Amino acid sequence: MRNIPTDLLRAFVTIIDLRGYTRAGEKLGRTQPAISQQMRRLQEQLDVQLFTKDPSGTQITEEGELVAGYARQILALNDEMLLRLSGRDARGKLRLGIPNDYADHFLPKLLGGFSGAHAGLSFDVVCDVSHNLLKGLREGMFDIVVAMTPDGPAAGAFMTWREPLAWVGGASEPQAVVGPADEPLRIVCYPEGCLYRRNMLTALQRDGRKFEIVYTSPSLAGIEAALASRFGVSVLARRILSDRLRPLTNVAALPRLADVVVGIYLDDKASTPAIKSVAARFADMFVAFEPSDVAD
What pLDDT was estimated at residue 92?
Answer: 55
What pLDDT was estimated at residue 294?
Answer: 32
Q: Which fold has domain 6-85?
A: Arc Repressor Mutant, subunit A (1.10.10)
Establish whether domains 6-85 and 165-247 are of one fold: no
**Full DSSP string of 212-239:** EEEEE-SSHHHHHHHHHTTS-BEEEEGG
What pLDDT was estimated at residue 116?
Answer: 52
User: Distance between CA 169 and CA 249 in Å, rounded?
Assistant: 10
C-alpha dihedral, 241 to 246 to 250 to 255, nearest 10°: -60
What pLDDT was estimated at residue 199?
Answer: 92
Q: Where are the domains of the chain?
A: 6-85, 92-162+260-288, 165-247
Assigned CATH class of 165-247 = alpha beta
Contacts of 210 (CB under 8 A, 6+ apart): 182, 183, 184, 185, 204
> 10 and 39 in contact (C-beta within 8 Å)?
no
Ordered mean pLDDT values, 10 residues apiece, the chain (296 residues): 86 83 81 90 92 68 88 80 57 80 82 59 86 90 90 79 89 73 90 91 92 92 92 90 86 86 82 74 70 36
User: Distance between CA 222 and CA 218 in Å, rounded?
Assistant: 7
CA atoms within 13 A on the CB side of 130: 20
Helix axes 21-28, 32-46, angle to 10 degrees: 100
pLDDT in tens, 17-58: 777 888 788 778 788 889 999 999 999 999 999 988 754 456
92-162+260-288 in CATH: which number? 3.40.190.10
